[in-house]
Structure 1
Amino acid sequence: MPTQPAPSTSPAAGDTDALLRAELGSAIRKLRKERGLTLVQLAERAALSHPFLSQLERGLTRPSMSSLHRIARALGTTQQALMTVAAVPHPGASADSVHLVRSGEGLPVANRGGTARMLGAPAYSAHPVEYTGVGERFDEYYDHPGDEFVYVVTGEIEIDLQTAEGPRLHVLGPGDSIYYPGGTPHRWRAVGDGSRVRLLTVQNATGEADRHP
């Protein structure tokens, strides 16, 4: 029988968190420099503070999904593409063919009403994200080049889509899913208790300006 890797082979939670934050900050800094932007210029484009971006690039803090979305748009990529770099290969998986994420692993990014956790890695063409907890009021609209699939695991949400045929509102409960094309402005909110909502989204990386930030 195959054996499980010993628990001692995994880095401590605090060390892993620091490593993931450093990877994310490094990816943002690299892409910013490739775009020929200073920290101040990126801060202006993303409508964020210069000190916050400086701390983020040094791995001293982490962004919210909202601020990461603003940074990604200013850099011509997506928040999911940036999040994929904050992925550490699991000791029991092959870096060439398998990306294994255990429960509780991955860098959690604050999302209004809960957290978002990237489950993918840069080498793959789909970006799966787990959302735990959702706000009970609509936030700003998000859009990105890749098509997106949303599956409701628990709880209930209302999703607002700005389609070519006009606005569309859909209420989704456990087991429901929805798929919409890239470029569709969208946002969602919880119906009832937002802490009970758990979602899985999968975004197609096709069409992104930078597959490997």
Structure 2
Amino acid sequence: MGDHKEQPLRVGAAVRRRRRALELTLSVVAERSGLSVPFLSQVENERARPSRHSLEKVAAALGTTAATLLAAADPAGGVDVVRADEGEHTPARVRSLVRGHHQLHALEFIGDHDAGREFQHRNDELMYVVEGGIEVEAEGRAQRLGRGDTLYLTGGIRHRWRATVPETRVVVVAVGEHLDPGGA
């Protein structure tokens, strides 16, 4: 029942993300596709579902394919459960806790990772230590965090972190990079 693959896809969010990434207005996409601005707005806001033919027109106007837009679509349901045994950890033992393209991204890190790698994300981020401990360097200061501790980082802050205890588990939740922190 919680399987996101059984739910219809919301392609409107994928269309909007692509249009905004290209910095195009609805009017430009309407002109290029031969579809109306009101219809495109309804598609982006999930109030209308485009036919396959209309989706192909929109995709061409956005310089992509209908298949690519469908692959980037969000599941229609607002609730999606990712079970502990689902998904694969990468060799660095990182697992995504959220499927699809959403406003929030969540990753689980187990063990250590490239401690020398510096991160700087466009948007805000929260780190939560589930088990073990980490050391985070941010703004010229080192913070030690243990089980149950959280660290909030405002977007744009350069930081790096490392596990201080073997088999440490850290959950990182961040606002999606595709979102503009300043507005619409």
- TM-score after normalising by structure 2: 0.53
1:198 deviates by 0.2
Contact map agreement 1:126 1:202 (CA 8 A) in 2: yes
Instruction: Tell me the alpha carbon deviations over residues 159-185 of structure 1, each in whole angstroms, 9 at most, x when there is no partner.
Output: 111x3xxx1100000011100111111
Q: Partner residue of 2:102?
A: 124
Q: Distance in 2 between matches of 1:206 and 1:179?
A: 16
Q: What CA RMSD, in Å, does the superposition of the two structures yield over aligned residues?
A: 3.3
Report whether the alignment pairs 1:202 with 2:183: no
Q: Distance in 1 between matches of 2:96 and 2:121?
A: 16
Which residue of 104, 112, 134 maps to 2:112?
134
Q: Distance in 1 between matches of 2:73 and 2:127?
A: 22
Name the CA shift for 1:99/1:152 in 2 (closer, same or farther; >3 Å).
same
Q: Distance in 2 between matches of 1:190 and 1:179?
A: 17
Which residue of 121, 139, 147 maps to 2:124?
147
Q: Distance in 2 between matches of 1:106 and 1:174?
A: 24
Q: Partner residue of 1:106?
A: 87
Contact map agreement 1:133 1:197 (CA 8 A) in 2: yes
SS of alignment partner, residue 109 of structure 1: coil
1:122 deviates by 3.2
Moved beyond 3 Å, runs of 4+: 85-89, 206-209
Q: Distance in 2 between matches of 1:208 and 1:181?
A: 14
Gaps of 5+ in 1: 12-30, 36-84, 90-94
Q: Distance in 1 between matches of 2:107 and 2:72?
A: 13
The within-5 A match list for 1:55-204 is 95-111=76-92, 115-135=93-113, 138-161=115-138, 163=139, 167-193=140-166, 196-204=167-175
1:144 deviates by 1.4
Percent identity between the aligned chains?
32
Letter in 2 for 1:203: A
1:109 deviates by 2.6
- TM-score after normalising by structure 1: 0.47
Q: Distance in 2 between matches of 1:129 and 1:152?
A: 12
Q: Distance in 1 between matches of 2:104 and 2:168?
A: 22
SS of alignment partner, residue 90 of structure 2: strand
Name the CA shift for 1:179/1:133 in 2 (closer, same or farther; >3 Å).
same
1:127 deviates by 0.5
Name the CA shift for 1:206/1:140 in 2 (closer, same or farther; >3 Å).
closer
1:207 deviates by 5.4
Q: Distance in 1 between matches of 2:159 and 2:151?
A: 12
Aligned length: 118
Letter in 1 for 2:94: A
